[in-house]
């Protein structure tokens, strides 16, 4: 714990201008990012007597060891810089908006040569158009199934697509006219992309051009007495109407708006948004929010809008954004939205009418989001805090291990050896900081553990010397409070020798043995036995199992590459690049073995003679097929 008075800057040195500030911990890691209209007035609020501060603000200023700031020209620039730094540094004390569940989106992969329509969750990818989110995945699949009757675009995976290309036959959807089958050349890449563009147009709420086209096709075919063609156009029109009718009309046709609602309480908040396109609800989404410091609803709205629109395509921002409360000066937020969208955005609060009624419904949904979150998280928060505190007491540590790193080694009889490092912060996995190590010179597990830990902590000592700005992008600059190794006393002793050799004496070390789940502490003759079913033992098991899973995954990947290389390296004329090309083309070494000479010869850079040699080698013959 630090003393804020020791790093408090002199008031006269802080400019009274707009800017963005960063609090850093003793290791130089950014723990909080904020913006202010007046840096001097804002920063003074953090250096009051500790008893006057909000509990989470108090925790932040006593974790930090320094503060720095950057002056900008206006509040719009401050808003942009704050958002950029929050995304870059992921500070632990900033407001964190988390989806109350993993909402599914209907996505169109416009970044591929032949775009695909599919259900997606998780982080957004560049070049992919997202629609929704939807409450249920089955609702998306029903929409897709109906929409394919009108716009038959690709929905298959890459593996299915490549298989159809090789075989020259489309999948079932291609035979029943629910796919235009670009895999076998029924339509060109440009024609299929045009279908995908129309799908995006319909899902974005603009179905009128397609309705006009289908109506004209039906009427023209009927006038020519081509009744089968007219019937197909009629069926497609009905299918399109069915897709549109699934979304209730809540506002006037032609209205595009996002309507946000908020429930704000002392330590937590929840938010909800309805995405309305062409007067219909096209999707909804909910967030739960941990508040690190007291924030007004208007301040939360600023953070919420940044979270909702920080990583979206310009086309996903509507011309009207309705919020429950406007910031004191809403013009910087409006200007930022207009800059992202490339056109004017109206930011306002609905006062009456249908939009206000929809906002009230959203508020009810936000309350349900918060209630469900509390029921789900109450025991989880309690158990995590208890686990860290009990682990601190059991191991005799001076402070709770807020950052835990666990290491494991995986290999097959000493070959393809791989080490893993997983990181848990506040008893939750921080997957962005997981690392894998290729072990080069070790003969056994203890030597491998020595090599992995030596590399990790040597880097720690190097990167501690970097300037703070460079340290932010470094990979090993922050030490754990606790290191866990997968294994018993031999692995623990190997890790202890590494830490002693490097002069690191402020990191606790334990080993978790699998057989009886004993916790081994260096220098102790007997292990620490944690009660079965206790929270600290459960936490250590989760950390150890995650390290084991991560190591096994890396080892299997390396072993698979090695097996592929060894099988193909024996063939004259097949180097690393051509071996990769072969495996990529067929998807795996097993499928390459199943391929005929003619199919192998179709791979770019492989002729008939080399294809025969590859086929013979993989089948253990000298140019003859196996009996």
CA dist 559 and 568 (Å) reads: 14
Q: Is the predicted pLDDT of residue 264 greater than 80, yes or no?
A: yes
Question: Which of 222-231, 438-447, 552-561, 608-617 is the least confident region?
Answer: 552-561
pLDDT value at residue 320: 92
Please report, rounded to a whole number, the percentage of residues in the chain having pLDDT higher than 90. 11
Instruction: Work out the average pLDDT over 380-399.
Output: 81
Instruction: Work out the average pLDDT over 311-340.
Output: 87
pLDDT value at residue 627: 26
pLDDT tens-digit readout, 107-156: 899 888 899 988 887 677 888 888 766 656 666 677 787 778 778 889 99
Q: Is the predicted pLDDT of residue 56 greater than 80, yes or no?
A: no
Spell out the residues 6+ positions from residue 163 whose beta carbon is closer than 8 angstroms to its own: none
CA dist 317 and 395 (Å) reads: 52
pTM of the prediction? 0.54
Q: Is the predicted pLDDT of residue 249 greater than 60, yes or no?
A: no
241 Rama class: left (phi>0) / alpha (psi -120 to 50) / beta: alpha
Instruction: Work out the average pLDDT over 222-238.
Output: 80
Q: Is the predicted pLDDT of residue 20 greater than 90, yes or no?
A: yes
Q: Is the predicted pLDDT of residue 536 greater than 90, yes or no?
A: no
Q: Is the predicted pLDDT of residue 504 greater than 60, yes or no?
A: yes
Angle at 617 between CA 613 and CA 622, to 5 degrees: 75
pLDDT value at residue 622: 43
Instruction: Work out the average pLDDT over 399-424.
Output: 83
Task: Count other Cβ atoms within 10 Å, centred on residue 375.
Answer: 9
- Confidence band for 176, pLDDT divided at 50, 70 and 90: confident
- Confidence band for 319, pLDDT divided at 50, 70 and 90: very high
Question: Which of 53-57, 422-426, 465-469, 622-626 is the least confident region?
Answer: 622-626
- Confidence band for 67, pLDDT divided at 50, 70 and 90: very high
**Contact call for residues 518 and 528 (beta carbons, < 8 A):** yes
- Confidence band for 104, pLDDT divided at 50, 70 and 90: confident
Give yes or no for a cis peptide into 133 (omega within 30° of 0).
yes
Question: Which of 6-15, 249-258, 527-536, 583-592 is the least confident region?
Answer: 583-592
CA atoms within 13 Å, Cβ hemisphere of 155? 22
**What token pair was written down for 399?**
């402070």
Instruction: Work out the average pLDDT over 309-329.
Output: 86
Nearest to 205 by CA among 248, 254, 242, 274: 254
CA dist 121 and 106 (Å) reads: 9
CA dist 578 and 24 (Å) reads: 49
pLDDT value at residue 137: 64
Instruction: Work out the average pLDDT over 210-229.
Output: 81
Higher pLDDT, 382 or 401: 401
DSSP string, 376-412: HHHHHHHHHHHHHHHHHHHHT-SS--SEEEEEEEEEE
pLDDT tens-digit readout, 477-492: 788 899 999 888 888 9
Mind listing the domains of the chain with CATH numbers? 4-94 (3.40.1440.10), 257-370 (3.30.420), 403-558 (3.30.420.340), 570-618 (1.10.150.20)
Spell out the residues 6+ positions from residue 424 whose beta carbon is closer than 8 angstroms to its own: 403, 404, 405, 406, 430, 539, 542, 543, 546
pLDDT value at residue 265: 77
Helix axes 576-586, 535-569, angle to 10 degrees: 110
pLDDT value at residue 414: 59
CA distances from 51 to 45, 47, 58 (A): 13, 11, 8
Higher pLDDT, 196 or 626: 196
Find the distance separating the first CA and the last CA of the chain, reported in whole Å. 75
Q: Is the predicted pLDDT of residue 625 greater than 60, yes or no?
A: no
- Confidence band for 267, pLDDT divided at 50, 70 and 90: low
DSSP string, 411-478: EETTEEEEEEEEEEETTEE-GGG-EEEE--S-SSHHHHHHHHHHHHHHHHHHHTTS-HHHHHT-SS-S
Q: Is the predicted pLDDT of residue 321 greater than 90, yes or no?
A: yes
CA dist 1 and 63 (Å) reads: 6
**What token pair was written down for 48?**
């009051």
Q: 401-436 b/e with 16+ CB inside 10 Å = b?
A: bbbbbbbbbbbeeeebbbbbbbbbbebebeeebbbb
CA dist 20 and 79 (Å) reads: 8
pLDDT value at residue 353: 86
CA atoms within 13 Å, Cβ hemisphere of 612? 5
């Amino acid at each position: 714990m630090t003393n804020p008075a020791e790093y408090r800057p002199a008031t006269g040195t802080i400019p009274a201008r707009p800017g963005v500030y960063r609090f850093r911990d003793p290791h130089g890691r950014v723990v909080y990012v904020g913006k202010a209209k007046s840096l001097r007035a804002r920063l003074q609020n953090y250096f009051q007597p500790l008893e006057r501060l909000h509990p989470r603000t108090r925790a932040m200023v006593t974790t930090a060891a320094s503060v720095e700031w950057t002056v900008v020209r206006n509040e719009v620039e401050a808003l942009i810089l704050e958002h950029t730094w929050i995304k870059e540094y992921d500070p632990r004390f900033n407001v964190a908006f988390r989806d109350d569940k993993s909402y599914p989106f209907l996505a169109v992969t416009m970044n591929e040569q032949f775009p695909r329509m599919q259900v997606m969750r998780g982080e957004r990818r560049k070049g992919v158009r997202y629609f929704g989110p939807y409450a249920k995945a089955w609702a998306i699949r029903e929409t897709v199934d109906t929409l394919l009757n009108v716009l038959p675009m690709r929905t298959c995976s890459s593996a299915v697509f490549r298989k159809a290309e090789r075989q020259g036959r489309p999948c079932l959807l291609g035979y029943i006219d629910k796919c235009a089958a670009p895999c076998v050349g029924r339509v060109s890449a440009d024609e299929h992309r045009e279908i995908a563009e129309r799908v995006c147009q319909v899902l974005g709420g603009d179905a009128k051009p397609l309705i006009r086209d289908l109506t004209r096709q039906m009427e023209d075919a009927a006038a020519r007495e081509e009744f089968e063609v007219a019937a197909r156009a009629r069926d497609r029109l009905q299918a399109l109407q069915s897709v549109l009718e699934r979304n209730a009309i809540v506002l006037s046709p032609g209205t595009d708006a996002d309507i946000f609602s908020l429930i704000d309480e002392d330590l937590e908040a929840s938010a909800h948004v309805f995405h309305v396109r062409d007067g219909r609800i096209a999707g909804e989404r909910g967030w739960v929010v941990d508040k690190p410091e007291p924030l007004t609803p208007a301040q939360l709205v600023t953070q919420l809008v940044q979270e909702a629109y920080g990583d979206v395509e310009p086309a996903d921002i509507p011309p009207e954004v309705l919020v429950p409360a406007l910031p004191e000066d809403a013009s910087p937020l409006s200007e930022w939205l207009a800059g992202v969208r490339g056109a004017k955005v109206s930011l306002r609060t609905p006062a009456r009418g249908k939009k206000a009624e929809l906002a009230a419904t959203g508020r009810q949904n936000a309350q349900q989001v918060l209630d469900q979150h509390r029921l789900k998280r109450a025991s989880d928060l309690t158990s995590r805090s208890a686990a860290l505190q009990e682990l601190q007491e059991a191991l005799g540590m001076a402070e709770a291990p807020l950052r835990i790193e666990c290491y494991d080694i995986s290999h097959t009889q000493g070959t393809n050896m791989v080490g893993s490092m997983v990181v848990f912060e506040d008893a939750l996995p921080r997957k962005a900081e997981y690392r894998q190590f290729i072990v080069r010179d070790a003969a056994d597990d203890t030597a491998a553990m020595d090599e992995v830990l030596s590399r990790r902590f040597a880097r720690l000592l190097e990167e501690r010397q970097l300037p703070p700005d460079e340290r932010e992008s470094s990979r090993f600059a922050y030490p754990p409070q606790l290191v866990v190794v997968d294994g018993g006393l031999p692995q623990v002793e190997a890790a202890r020798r590494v830490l002693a050799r490097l002069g690191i004496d402020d990191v606790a070390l334990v080993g978790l043995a699998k057989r009886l789940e004993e916790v081994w502490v260096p220098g102790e003759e007997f292990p620490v036995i944690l009660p079965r079913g206790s929270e600290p033992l459960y936490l250590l098991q989760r950390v150890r199992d995650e390290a084991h899973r991560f190591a096994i995954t890396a080892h299997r990947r390396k072993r698979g590459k090695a097996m592929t290389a060894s099988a193909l390296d024996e063939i004259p004329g097949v180097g690393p690049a051509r071996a990769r090309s072969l495996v990529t083309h067929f998807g795996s070494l097993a499928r390459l073995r199943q391929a005929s000479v003619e199919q192998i010869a179709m791979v770019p850079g492989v002729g008939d003679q080399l294809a025969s040699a590859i086929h013979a080698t993989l089948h253990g013959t000298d140019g003859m097929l196996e009996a």
